[in-house]
Amino acid sequence: MADSMIKLEELTKVYEGTEEPAVADLSMDVPEGEIVVLVGPSGCGKTTTMKMINRVIEPTSGRIFLEGEDVTSTNPDLLRRRIGYVIQQIGLFPHMSIRDNVATVPRLLDWDEHKIDDRVDELLELVGMDPGRFRGRYPRELSGGQRQRIGVIRALAADPPVMLMDEPFGAIDPITRERLQNEFLRLQADIKKTIVFVTHDIDEAIKMGDRIAILQDQSIIAQFDTPEEILTNPASQFVSDFVGSGAALKRMNLTRVGEVTLKDWPTARSDEKRDTLRNRLDDAEQDQLLLLDDDGRPRRWLHAQDLRTDDELTSVGEEVHGVISANSTIADALDQMLRSHYGTAVVVDDDDRYTGAVDMAVVLAAAEAMGQSAGADAQHRLADADVETTDEEQVSG
Amino acid sequence: MAAFWNYLSSNFDTLAEHAWGHFYVVALGLTLSSIIGISLGMLSYRNPTARAASLNTSAIILTIPSLALFAIMLTLPPPIGGLGARPVIAGLALYGLLPIVRNTIVGLNEVDQAIVESALGMGMGRRERLFRIEAPLAWPVIVTGIRVSGLLMVAIATIGSIVNGPGFGQMLLSALARIGSATATPQALVGTLGVIVFGICLDGLFRLLVHYTTPRGIRG
Amino acid sequence: MSASATDTAGRSSGGIWIRPALIAAIVIAVFVWINAVELDSIEQRLLATDAIVSAVVRHIQLVVISTVTVVALAVPAGIALTRRNLLSRALGPPILAIANAGQAVPSLGILVLIAVLFRALGFWPTIFALVLYAFLPILRNTIVGIEQVDESVIESAVGMGMTKRGVLRKIELPLAVPVVLAGIRTALVINVGTATVATLVNSGGLGDIVYGGIVQSRSTVLWAGALLVAALALAIDFLGGLAEDKLRPKGI
Mean pLDDT, contiguous 10-residue spans, chain A (397 residues): 80 90 92 94 91 93 92 92 91 93 93 95 92 93 92 93 92 84 90 94 91 92 90 88 74 80 85 84 84 87 82 80 83 81 83 86 77 51 47 36
Q: Which of residues 177-216 of B touch C (CB under 8 A)?
A: 179-180, 184-185, 188-189, 191-192, 195-196, 198-200, 203
Q: What is the structure's pLDDT at A394?
A: 36
Is C63 contained in some domain? yes
Distance of alpha carbon A222 from alpha carbon C52, whole angstroms = 79
Q: What is the structure's pLDDT at C160?
A: 79
Complete edge-to-edge strand list for the sheet that includes strand A4-13: A23-31, A4-13, A61-66, A69-70
pLDDT 10s digits, C68-126: 999 889 888 888 887 766 676 777 777 777 776 667 788 899 899 998 888 888 889 89
Is C252 contained in some domain? no
Query: Is the Cβ pair A90, B118 closer than 8 Å?
Result: yes
The whole-model pTM stands at: 0.79
- Looking at per-residue confidence, does C85 or B97 come out higher? B97
Of B114, B215, B217, the CB nearest to A91: B114
Give me the number of domains chain C comprises: 1
Q: Where are the alpha helices (DSSP H) in chain A?
A: 46-53, 76-80, 98-102, 104-108, 113-126, 131-134, 144-156, 174-191, 202-208, 227-232, 237-243, 247-250, 274-283, 304-308, 330-339, 360-370, 372-396
The three-class DSSP label of residue C161 is coil
**B and C adjacent (3 or more CB pairs under 8 angstroms):** yes
Is C133 contained in some domain? yes
pLDDT along chain C (252 residues), means of 10: 37 62 89 83 81 90 92 86 72 73 81 87 90 86 80 77 78 78 84 91 88 88 91 91 82 64
Q: What is the structure's pLDDT at A371?
A: 59
Q: What is the structure's pLDDT at C11?
A: 42
Q: Which residues of B touch A151 (CB under 8 A)?
A: 118
Distance (Å) of CA A22 to CA A47, A59, A395, B116: 10, 10, 43, 23
Is C160 contained in some domain? yes
What is the CATH classification number for the domain harbouring C176?
A: 1.10.3720.10
Cβ atoms A197, A9 nearer than 8 A: no
**Which residue of chain B has the CA closest to A55?**
B121
Boundaries of domain holding C166? 3-247
Phi–psi pair at A383, nearest 5 degrees: -65, -45
Q: Which fold has domain B2-218?
A: MetI-like fold (1.10.3720)
- Looking at per-residue confidence, does B88 or C98 come out higher? B88
Query: Is the Cβ pair B115, A93 closer than 8 Å?
Result: yes
- For chain C, say whether B37 makes contact (Cβ under 8 Å): no
Distance of alpha carbon A67 from alpha carbon A6, whole angstroms = 6
Q: Which residues of A touch B124 (CB under 8 A)?
A: 77, 104, 108
Q: How high is the mean pLDDT of chain B?
A: 91
Work out the burial of residue B168: count CB atoms within 10 Å of its CB; fewer than 13 is exposed, 13-18 middle, 19 or more buried: buried
Work out the burial of residue A312: count CB atoms within 10 Å of its CB; fewer than 13 is exposed, 13-18 middle, 19 or more buried: exposed
DSSP helix, strand, coil percent of chain C (3-state; round to 5): 85, 0, 15
C164 CB-near residues (< 8 Å, 6+ apart): none
DSSP label at residue A63: E
Cβ atoms B124, B194 nearer than 8 A: no
ipTM: 0.86
Cβ atoms A353, A346 nearer than 8 A: no
Query: Is the Cβ pair A80, B123 closer than 8 Å?
Result: yes
Of A80, A97, A139, the CB nearest to B121: A80
Distance of alpha carbon C58 from alpha carbon A64, whole angstroms = 72
Interface test with C, best of B22, B51, B63, B103 (most C CBs within 10 A): B63
Q: What is the structure's pLDDT at A246?
A: 67
pLDDT 10s digits, B155-194: 999 999 999 899 999 999 999 988 888 888 889 999 999 9
Q: What is the structure's pLDDT at A397?
A: 31
Complete edge-to-edge strand list for the sheet that includes strand A35-39: A83-86, A162-166, A194-199, A35-39, A211-216, A220-225
* Mean pLDDT value across residues B66-75: 91
pLDDT 10s digits, A31-81: 999 999 999 988 899 999 999 999 999 999 999 999 989 999 899 999 999
CB neighbour burial string for A209-224, b if at least 16 within 10 angstroms, e if fewer: bbbbbbbbbbbbbbbb
Phi–psi pair at C140, nearest 5 degrees: -65, -45
CA-only gyration radius of chain B, Å: 20
Cα-based angle A159, A186, A261 (whole degrees, multiple of 5) = 160
Whether the link from the prior residue into C106 is cis, omega within 30° of 0, is: no
DSSP label at residue A377: H
Q: How many CA atoms lie within 13 A of B31 on its CB side?
A: 6
